[in-house]
Amino acid sequence: MSKLVKKKSQKAGLPPGTLVHIGDRKVERATISVIRYNPHECRESKPKGFEEGAHELQEGTVTWLDVTGVHDLDIVHSLGKTFGLHPLLMEDVVNTDQRPKMEDYGDYLFFTLKMLSFGSTETEISAEQVSIVLGKNYVLTFQERERDLFDPLRERIRTGKGRIRGLGSDYLAYALIDAIVDSYFVIIEKLGEGLEDLADEVVAGRGARTLATIHVLKRELIYIRKAVWPLREAISGLYRGGTPLITETSGHYLRDLYDHTIQIIDAIESYRDLLSGMLDIYLSSASNRLNQVMKVLTMIATVFIPLTFIAGVYGMNFKYMPELEWRWGYPLIWLVMLGLAVIMLILFRRKRWL
């Protein structure tokens, strides 16, 4: 399946709001984990089913409910019904090809973005969609797989380090988005290190492998740009939307997060320009090498043209050719041919063609 566009044909003809999972199934079984915390305590649980009170909310306590495995439509539907989520929102959750965006539904905010990581190689980027629902005192997250970037955040909540347990659900939503955006810097830095090595290969003229690497990196940068570019406007909408769900304190952090996305976009654009320049240098180098080869072949052909002419003349089988009877005819022809070759090489040298 294409990384840039996933198949949506199975949704054709269905009414809006119909839950149809689009994307790859990345876990065998969907799971739910719940963290409830306030400034004084933190409690965690992993209910086996949705009916075990996973949705209970308490005043003065922030509830973070994390769902892993959006392919389980029953869990997604049950959560949507319990929290009163809009059907179109739930449709976006199970459609993992969503563009990063922010939507204000009044009582809650919906945010979707891409969690990027390296695949089998350090030039292959894989993505997972993460959907976040921010309510008054709760945050819902929907992920495709178990491995995520939120373990340091969970540890801060457990130990009470930092200010997260003293602030509301809006700060938790910010911290989740910030963890994902910070991972973009790691990916960009590793790609930047690869670009430095690639630049040396381009100058050295390593061949077709270098050209293939350039095209792979250009494709991956386009993929990252698709994930990051709309994220800028989505974050901007969070702190400029005027919603009461975002406090002034969290708004300051979101503005800083907006600046981070601008830095990432600038780095992506710079790397794209560098790759375009490397591609031009590679093609120019290949063209120059080809010209040098053609130049040598042309010189050789030019030197042998008059020699071929002489050999062709004396290779004719006419009876009356006086030179054929000369005692020194053969060495004389060799002397003439070698002399012509030397004279032409001297001429090419003076004209700096060699």
Tell me the pLDDT tens digit for each residue of 158-213: 888 878 888 888 899 999 999 999 988 888 888 888 887 777 777 776 667 777 88
Phi and psi at residue 32, in whole multiples of 5°? -125, 135
Cβ proximity of 86 and 13 under 8 Å: no
Of the candidates 49, 128, 135, the one whose C-alpha atom is nearest the C-alpha of residue 85 is: 135
Mean pLDDT of 208-230: 83
> Is 289-350 in CATH node 1.10.645.10?
no
Q: Are residues 310 and 336 in contact, defined by beta-carbon separation less than 8 angstroms?
A: yes
Strands across the sheet containing 109-118: 42-45, 31-37, 62-68, 138-143, 125-134, 109-118, 101-104
The residue ranges of every structural domain in the chain are 15-284, 289-350
Which of the residue ranges 51-55, 144-148, 295-299 would you say has the lowest mean pLDDT? Answer: 51-55
- In angstroms, rounded to a whole number, what is the distance separating the alpha carbons of residues 273 and 263? 15
Query: Which residues does 6 contact at the CB level (< 8 Å), separation at least 6?
Result: 22, 23, 96, 97
The encoded tokens of residue 72 equal 């389980």
- pLDDT tens for 255-292 read 899 999 999 999 888 888 888 888 888 778 778 878 88
Question: Cβ(131)–Cβ(111) under 8 Å?
Answer: yes
Q: Which CATH superfamily is domain 15-284 in?
A: CorA soluble domain-like (3.30.460.20)
Put simply, whether the predicted model's pTM sits higher than 0.85 gets the answer no
The backbone region for 207, taken as left when phi is positive above 0, alpha when psi lies in -120 to 50, beta otherwise, is left
Q: 240: pLDDT confidence band, cut at 50, 70 and 90?
A: confident
Residue 1: its pLDDT value, please?
Answer: 45
Report the C-alpha gap between 160 and 166 in whole angstroms: 9
Say whether 299 sits in a helix, a strand or coil.
helix
With b for 16 or more beta-carbon neighbours within 10 A and e for fewer, the 253-291 pattern comes to bbeebbebbeebbebbeebbebbeebbeebeeeeeeeee
Q: Under a CB-based contact definition with an 8 Å cutoff, are residues 65 and 34 in contact?
A: yes
Domain 15-284 shares a fold with domain 289-350: no
